[in-house]
Amino acid sequence: MGRVRVGGFSVSIDGFGAGPGQSLADPLGRRGAELHRWFFHTRFFREMTGQDGGSDGVDQEFGARGMAGFGAFILGRNMFGPAGDDWGGPDWKGWWGDDPPYHAPTFILTHHARAPIAMAGGTTFHFVTDGIHSALDQAKAVAGDRDVKIGGGVSTVRQYLAAGLIDELHYAISPVFLGQGEKMFDGIDLPALGYGVTEQVNSPDAMHVVLTKETAT
């Protein structure tokens, strides 16, 4: 059976995973895009968004790893559409256009039920209204031997962390201070939950830190 992983999750030096004031016009919140500078210049990101060029190196390696090996994804409500119960309007099908980057079943945590949406490239969005455990059970069932990615946002990662359900996390710590926004680590005691640093590599735009949960012996 595959693992449950978080990959390529950007946070600021002061621990914010998104800026304040997330909206349809500003989905990452104010200054939230600054957290992802390490990723935007990579060859992987540029290929994913239909552009040429891009850099190789540490950021490219971690960016590609952050989307590789997954048989299913779990996302929070705002990772699919803007806050509220109208889903960005009756025709809203997510932030990414007709061919989202997931290419696998993708489970959206929400309080607002909606029929599944099949997209190009193998992505189907499923809307889960009965909690994180149900979403994970469904994701594992379709992922088989591949991993399940907890894709964010901050609240979703925190819920799965607090429940002890994540095996590995990769944080890209970007050299910016946001001062406000969505806090990743407040009230989360990672050592007490069994996580330790198993990999740490620096680039000019991020410190990449991999945390792995200890397994009982």
| pLDDT tens readout for residues 185-197 | 999 999 999 999 9
Q: Is residue 104 part of a domain?
A: yes
- What stretches of the chain show up as alpha helix (H) in DSSP? 37-40, 43-48, 58-65, 77-80, 132-143, 154-162
Residues 69-103 as b or e (16 or more Cβ within 10 Å = b):
ebbbbbbbbbbbbbeeeebeeeeebbeeeeebebe
| CATH code: domain of residue 72 | 3.40.430.10
Q: Is residue 188 part of a domain?
A: yes
As for how many domains the chain has, the answer is 1
Query: Domain of 146?
Result: 4-12+32-81+98-213
Q: Is residue 87 part of a domain?
A: no
Count other C-beta atoms under 10 Å from residue 183's C-beta.
18
Give the pair of three-digit tokens for residue 63: 């960016």
Kindly report the CA angle at 77 between 72 and 82, in degrees rounded to 5? 130
What does the mean pLDDT of the chain come to? 93
User: Where do we find the tokens 């990662």?
Assistant: 157
Task: Give the mean model confidence (pLDDT) for residues 83-101.
Answer: 80
Q: Is residue 106 part of a domain?
A: yes
Q: Is residue 197 part of a domain?
A: yes
Q: Is 157 helix (H, G, I), strand (E, B) or coil?
A: helix
Residue 87's pLDDT band (cuts 50, 70, 90)? low
Residue 9, Cβ density class (10 Å: 0-12 exposed, 13-18 middle, ≥19 buried): buried
Share of the chain above pLDDT 90, in %: 80
Q: Is residue 59 part of a domain?
A: yes
The span from the CA of 116 to the CA of 21, in Å, is 28
Q: pTM score > 0.85 for this model?
A: yes
Q: Is residue 24 part of a domain?
A: no
Q: Is residue 141 part of a domain?
A: yes
Give the per-residue pLDDT at 84. Answer: 66
